[in-house]
Every structure is written in C-alpha cells, then in structure tokens.
C-alpha cells in the first residue's frame, strides 16, 4: 500500500467516524438525561455535512494523517487538538448564522468523541504498518554513501514507517588510500567486494532500491547505476548540494536536462502582519498567565543569587542585535542548584522573553536567537535564519535541538519551517512545545516512533572498488534522537 493510499484510507475513516461520533454524543447525553435539546434529523445532517467539509480542508492543509513529516506522537496530538478547536469554532459560526441550535455541551462532547476516534484510527493505521514490518513486507534499501547525509537519510526512513522501507546498510565507493574510517560504534572483519560483485550482493540481499546520497558522479558510480537499473533495482538520488533545496524548488525540463529553479522563502506582507497580531494577542495573554510564576521564580533567584533577571545580547531579524530577557539561571549543569536546574529543564527561565515578543524583537515561534559570536561564524547558508524574526520556540526545538547543538542542524529545521509559515503551524508548534515540556517534567521522553518501527537491523557498511583491494565490513546502529525544546 502506497503512502497516498494510506492517507486516503485514514481520511475516509475520519469521515465515516464523524456521523458516528455525533450520534454517539446524542446517545450518551440522552442516556444521562442531559439538559439539552436533541438534534433533529435536518440539524444532524447539516452539522455532519459541515464537519465533513471542514475536516477535508483541514486534513489537506494541516497534514492530519500523522505520517507526513515523520511520525511523532506530540506533533500528531497537537495537530489534531488544533484542528478540532478550529472545527468547533466553525460549527459555532454555523450555529449563529443558521440559527440551528447545537449547544456548548454537544460541541464539547462531540469534540472529545472526535479526538478519541481520530487517535484510534491513526493508532490502528500505525499498528497495521508495524505488522507489515514484523512480517517482513518491506522494501529493502541500501544507501550509497557513508557521510552525515547517509546517516540522516537512514534516520528519516526510520521516522517514516508508512514508506515501508528498511535501510539494511550503506554502500561506500572505494578510493586510493583509506576511503572510510571506522568510528567507535563500528566493528567487523575484512571483506573483498568488487564493482561487479556489488550487484550480486544487492540481489542476494533482496535490495529493491539504491539511494544515492552525497556521492561524486564518477564512471564507476554511473556504471553501478546502469547495472542496478538493468537488474530492476530502483535508483533514487538526493540533489546536491541538498541544503539548497530547503526552499521552494520548481522542476523545469530543459530539453531533457532537469533544472531546478529555487524560489524565495520570504513570506508575504499579509502573513507577517497576521503573525505579528498573533504575537500581540496570544503573547499578552500568556505573559499575564505566566507572570506570577516568573515573579515567584525571580524572587527566589534574587534571594539565592542576588539577581533575578539577566539580559543577554542576541542577533535577531536581518542581523539586528537586541537584549534578550531571561531569568538569572546559569546554563552550566555543574554550577546550578536543583531549583535552577528545574527552571532550565522546564524552560521557565525563558518565560520573561514574552517581553521581547511584545516589543517586537521576537516572535512566539521562529528560529531561536543566538549570540553575536556564534552568528559571526555563520555561513551564507546559515544566515538565512536571520531572514525571519527569532522565536521563543520553533521546529528545531521540538525536534530536540537546543543551544548546545550545532547551528547547522538547527538551520535545517528552521528553513523547513520558513518554507511554509502559517498561523496554524505556529499554534500547532506552541501546543507541541507544551507537550514536550510536560513530558520532560514527567521524566520520560516522547518517542518519535514506536520501538518496533524505529529499531531497524544493524546497518552494514561495505566499501567497494573497481580493483581487487580489501575493504572493511562494518556494523553501525541506526541513530535516534530525543525530543525537547528550548
């Protein structure tokens, strides 16, 4: 089953569940003798039709199937919560315009039934996919390359179980001298593999796809690709340099030569205005709600350290420098008390930055601001982070990247966020941030994928060459990360 078919089936199951959820709500309230008027047949049909129509639009725009973008429970729950909230607002609007009584109790219980059913549908879909993994009904994939991009590709395959692809190893072109240096987590004995033997090895391992990562297009590589295609082994490639494709590419066929045109990522003016309005409205509410906690924490820090707050110089939109406000907590784990460690772990130390949001120096969601010293060493590619106003949280943070992580890793996620900015995405990331903070405080990590899908077999790295040299055969474990947030 292709990913598109899986998404279609999930949407069909959602639409089938909508009338059942509303009917279940009516039956429950009737059985409990709730004080509300039952929906007549005409009103029932109207609200079912409106819900179905709205859910189709929301599913297409918010990718509510749970698999696109990689399976993460926190992202799935935040998307569904936000979509259900938008749906309830639309139904309230329908009630006011059409004067068809629905009631808040009906809406609340209906939303609970919807969420429970939608989560169950996606859980069943994931379980079906994992069952196919367990039964071996997967496409076996080998990645051509051994660098960081190859490892990243293997991790991304792990986060997309709907592809039904299992990375069984890496294939590395040989060179004069040592082409691959073993790392500490690799082990194995010597093996001799020539170019012609590679195809036999791939057929023996039932490999159906060869994915070309960062590999120069030498004659040996071209010969290998041609042999794979002759043996009906599918060949895919990552365009190089793939960092450039974190933009809006358009494919142009120029007389048989594929040409990718890279579009600008700058959001339209209307999107910037709406984002600013969201920052002012929601930022004001959150600042007021969290103010008692900030003041209490500041008072404790003032008594224990002699200072409640600190100002740190950061670089923001278009390279403009500003002072970011935060609680006076040392980020060095060896120098902090248990109270300060709790403030840092729960990100309470960052709550004063609502002040920067209201002043317009920061946004609720966006790339995290970094120090001038770190920005000074940015490459031209990394400087694209500065084309958007920095945020209190962002896509990189909910993927577990914090201040101590390399700026290059965070830039990839930040540019992906900048490709398709929207208010719904901002709200979803805020909900996901709350989820990850709560998970961190509860002292258990949020898994990005159930264990059976995330644990592929040990990955085998084989070097090959057109000559008859000997090359090492190595074992490498797939890489997994942990979610978190700044």
Using the predicted structure, report yes or no on whether residue 289 has a pLDDT greater than 90. yes
Least confident of 14-23, 206-215, 380-389: 206-215
What does the pLDDT read at residue 440? 75
DSSP 325: E
Place of tokens 């590679």: 198
Strand partners, 144: 171, 212
Q: How far apart are CA 236 and CA 144, in angstroms?
A: 10
Q: How far apart are CA 21 and CA 108, in angstroms?
A: 12
Using the predicted structure, report yes or no on whether residue 64 has a pLDDT greater than 80. yes
Question: Considering the chain, what percentage of its residues have pLDDT values greater than 70?
Answer: 80
Using the predicted structure, report yes or no on whether residue 60 has a pLDDT greater than 60. yes
End-to-end CA distance of the chain: 38
What does the pLDDT read at residue 69? 81
Query: How far are the Cα atoms of 7, 85, 116, 279, 430 from residue 81, in angstroms, in the given order?
Result: 19, 6, 11, 20, 12
Burial 69-78 (b: 16+ CB within 10 A, else e): ebbbbbbbbb
What does the pLDDT read at residue 97? 83
Topology of 139-264+450-476 in CATH? Answer: Rossmann fold (3.40.50)
- Which of the two residues, 251 and 467, has the higher pLDDT score? 251
Sorting pLDDT into bands at 50, 70 and 90, what band is 38? low
User: What are φ and ψ of residue 106, in 5° steps?
Assistant: -60, -45
Question: For 90-99, what is each residue's pLDDT tens digit?
Answer: 988 888 887 7
Q: How far apart are CA 333 and CA 341, in angstroms?
A: 7
Alpha helices in 63-138 (DSSP H): 73-98, 104-134
Alpha helices in 313-406 (DSSP H): 338-345, 354-359, 372-376, 395-398
Least confident of 33-47, 154-168, 288-302, 384-398: 33-47
Six token digits for residue 15: 């639409």
What lies within 8 Å, CB to CB, of 252 at 6+ separation is: 258, 259, 260, 261
What does the pLDDT read at residue 189? 38
Alpha helices in 332-481 (DSSP H): 338-345, 354-359, 372-376, 395-398, 407-419, 423-441, 451-454
Question: For 365-386, what is each residue's pLDDT tens digit?
Answer: 999 999 999 999 998 888 888 9
- Which of the two residues, 294 and 265, has the higher pLDDT score? 294
CB of 291 within 8 A of CB of 355?
Answer: no
What does the pLDDT read at residue 151? 85
Using the predicted structure, report yes or no on whether residue 311 has a pLDDT greater than 60. yes
Residue spans of the domains in the chain: they are: 3-134, 139-264+450-476, 286-420
Question: For 121-134, what is each residue's pLDDT tens digit?
Answer: 999 999 999 999 88
What does the pLDDT read at residue 309? 95
What does the pLDDT read at residue 177? 29
CA angle 393, 358, 382 (to 5 degrees): 40
Average pLDDT over residues 281-290: 95
Question: For 334-371, what is each residue's pLDDT tens digit?
Answer: 667 788 888 888 889 999 999 999 999 999 999 999 99
> How many CB atoms sit inside 10 A of residue 14's CB?
23
Six token digits for residue 474: 């190595």
Sorting pLDDT into bands at 50, 70 and 90, what band is 422? confident
Question: For 156-175, what is each residue's pLDDT tens digit?
Answer: 888 899 999 988 888 876 54
What lies within 8 Å, CB to CB, of 358 at 6+ separation is: 279, 280, 283, 284, 287
Using the predicted structure, report yes or no on whether residue 247 has a pLDDT greater than 70. no
Q: How far apart are CA 280 and CA 161, in angstroms?
A: 39
Q: How far apart are CA 237 and CA 274, in angstroms?
A: 38
């Amino acid at each position: 089953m292709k990913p598109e078919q899986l998404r279609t089936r999930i949407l069909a199951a959602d639409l089938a569940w909508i009338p059942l959820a509303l009917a279940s709500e009516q039956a429950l309230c009737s059985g409990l003798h709730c004080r509300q008027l039952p929906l007549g047949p005409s009103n029932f049909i109207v609200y079912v039709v409106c819900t179905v129509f709205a859910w189709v639009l929301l599913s297409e725009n918010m990718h509510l199937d749970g698999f696109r973008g990689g399976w993460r429970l926190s992202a799935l729950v935040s998307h569904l919560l936000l979509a259900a909230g938008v749906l309830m607002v639309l139904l309230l609007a329908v009630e006011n315009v059409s004067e068809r009584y629905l009631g808040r109790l009906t809406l609340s219980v209906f939303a609970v039934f919807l969420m429970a059913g939608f989560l169950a549908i996606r859980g069943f879909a994931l379980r079906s996919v994992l069952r196919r993994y367990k039964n071996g009904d997967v496409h076996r994939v080998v990645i051509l390359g051994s660098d960081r991009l190859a490892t990243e590709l293997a991790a991304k395959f792990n986060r997309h179980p709907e592809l039904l692809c299992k990375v069984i190893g890496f294939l590395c072109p040989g060179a004069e001298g040592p082409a691959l240096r073993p790392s500490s987590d690799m082990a194995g004995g010597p093996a001799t593999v020539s170019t012609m033997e590679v195809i036999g090895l791939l057929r023996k391992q039932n490999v159906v796809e060869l994915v070309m990562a960062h590999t120069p297009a030498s004659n040996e590589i071209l010969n290998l690709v041609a042999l794979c295609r002759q043996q009906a082994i599918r060949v895919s490639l990552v365009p190089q340099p793939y960092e450039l494709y974190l933009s809006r590419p358009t494919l142009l066929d120029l007389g048989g030569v594929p040409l990718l045109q890279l579009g600008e990522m700058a959001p339209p003016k209307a999107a910037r205005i709406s984002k600013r309005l969201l920052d002012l409205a929601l930022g004001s509410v959150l600042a007021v709600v969290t103010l008692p906690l900030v003041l209490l924490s500041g008072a404790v820090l003032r008594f224990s350290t002699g200072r409640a707050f600190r100002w740190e110089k950061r670089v923001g939109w278009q390279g403009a420098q500003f002072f970011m406000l935060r609680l006076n907590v040392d980020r060095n784990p060896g120098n902090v008390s248990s109270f300060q460690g709790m403030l840092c772990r729960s990100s309470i130390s960052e709550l004063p930055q609502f002040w920067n949001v209201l002043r317009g120096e920061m946004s609720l969601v966006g790339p995290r601001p970094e120090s001038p010293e770190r920005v000074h060493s940015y490459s031209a590619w990394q400087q694209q982070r500065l084309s958007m106003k920095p945020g209190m949280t962002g896509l990189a943070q909910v993927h577990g990247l914090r201040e101590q992580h390399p700026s290059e890793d965070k830039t990839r996620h930040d540019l992906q966020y900048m490709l398709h900015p929207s208010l719904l995405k901002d709200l979803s990331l805020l909900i996901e941030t709350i989820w990850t903070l709560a998970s961190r405080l509860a002292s258990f990590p949020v898994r990005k994928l159930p264990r059976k899908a995330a644990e592929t077999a040990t990955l085998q790295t084989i070097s090959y060459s057109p000559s008859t040299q000997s090359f090492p055969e190595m074992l490498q474990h797939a890489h997994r990360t942990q979610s978190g947030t700044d």
